[in-house]
A and B are shown apart, each in its own frame.
Chain A
Amino acid sequence: GDSVTQMEGPVTLSEEAFLTINCTYTATGYPSLFWYVQYPGEGLQLLLKATKADDKGSNKGFEATYRKETTSFHLEKGSVQVSDSAVYFCALVNTGFQKLVFGTGTRLLVSP
């Protein structure tokens, strides 16, 4: 079945550091890919998405590019802030199925 693999956390960075959170997927067909973020004590918010190969999703300084050749959707941000501390989930939805398949989540901790 479809699956998503994320790097283990926590990822600990200082403010203004560069962020990469790796995400790879296994799926038949042509899934859409998503990054969701969960701030402490809150629900899930869509951060960005990409629906086809080579698409780049971007929001709030975060970016991820849908790479079909490497089945990856890595999340990047050039300069993180303390307020970016949260758990980040990579997810996919495959053609014909409406269920999101999530990775295990990666906790990001940003210190001043």
Chain B
Amino acid sequence: DTAVSQTPKYLVTQMGNDKSIKCEQNLGHDTMYWYKQDSKKFLKIMFSYNNKELIINETVPNRFSPKSPDKAHLNLHINSLELGDSAVYFCASSQESRGVQETQYFGPGTRLLVL
């Protein structure tokens, strides 16, 4: 069983469209994340949710809106897609423990190409 799964794996779309990426984890973790990897392989956090509550929002444009229906799911909705949104988006999850930095487990990534 895949621990952290994402759909779709590939997403090709036109500029201006709205799209969603879904993430699910079956590890029982209570914290989930979205990271963006640009064309130079640089990885940066976008959002983090703990028990469905937003705890990290790293100056991401308002066009990006995460939604967590339950603690096993964290979806990413993107409005009015722009060329610069082309990247690989990774979902991750971890178990929060006070003062302990638990390992984050990553999904396989969603490769988004905006034309």
A residues with a Cβ closer than 8 A to B are 31-32, 34, 36, 38, 42-46, 49, 51, 87, 89, 93-102, 104-105, 107
Chain B residues with CB below 8 A from A104, complex form? 40-42
CA distance A77 to B65 in the complex (A): 41
Cβ of B103 and Cβ of A44 under 8 Å apart?
no
Chain B residues with CB below 8 A from A95, complex form? 99, 101
CA distance A98 to B103 in the complex (A): 10
Minimum CB–CB distance from A41 to chain B (whole Å) comes to 9
**Chain B 93-107, CB within 8 Å of chain A: the 1/0 string?**
010100111111111
B31 interface residue per 8 A CB criterion: yes
Minimum CB–CB distance from A105 to chain B (whole Å) comes to 5
Cβ of B41 and Cβ of A99 under 8 Å apart?
no
B44 interface residue per 8 A CB criterion: yes
B residues with a Cβ closer than 8 A to A are 31, 33, 35, 40-45, 48, 50, 55-56, 58, 90, 92, 94, 96, 99-109
In the complex, how many residue pairs between chain A and chain B have their CB atoms under 8 Å apart? 65
Chain A residues with CB below 8 A from B105, complex form? 46
Chain B residues with CB below 8 A from A38, complex form? 41
Chain B residues with CB below 8 A from A44, complex form? 43, 90, 92, 106
CA distance A42 to B40 in the complex (A): 15
Cβ of A98 and Cβ of B31 under 8 Å apart?
yes
Chain B residues with CB below 8 A from A31, complex form? 101
CA distance A47 to B96 in the complex (A): 20
Minimum CB–CB distance from B83 to chain A (whole Å) comes to 22
27 A–B contacts from the bound complex (CB under 8 Å): A38-B41, A42-B108, A42-B109, A43-B107, A43-B109, A44-B106, A46-B104, A46-B105, A51-B100, A89-B43, A93-B101, A94-B101, A95-B99, A98-B33, A98-B56, A98-B94, A99-B33, A99-B45, A99-B48, A99-B56, A99-B58, A102-B43, A104-B40, A104-B41, A105-B41, A105-B42, A105-B43
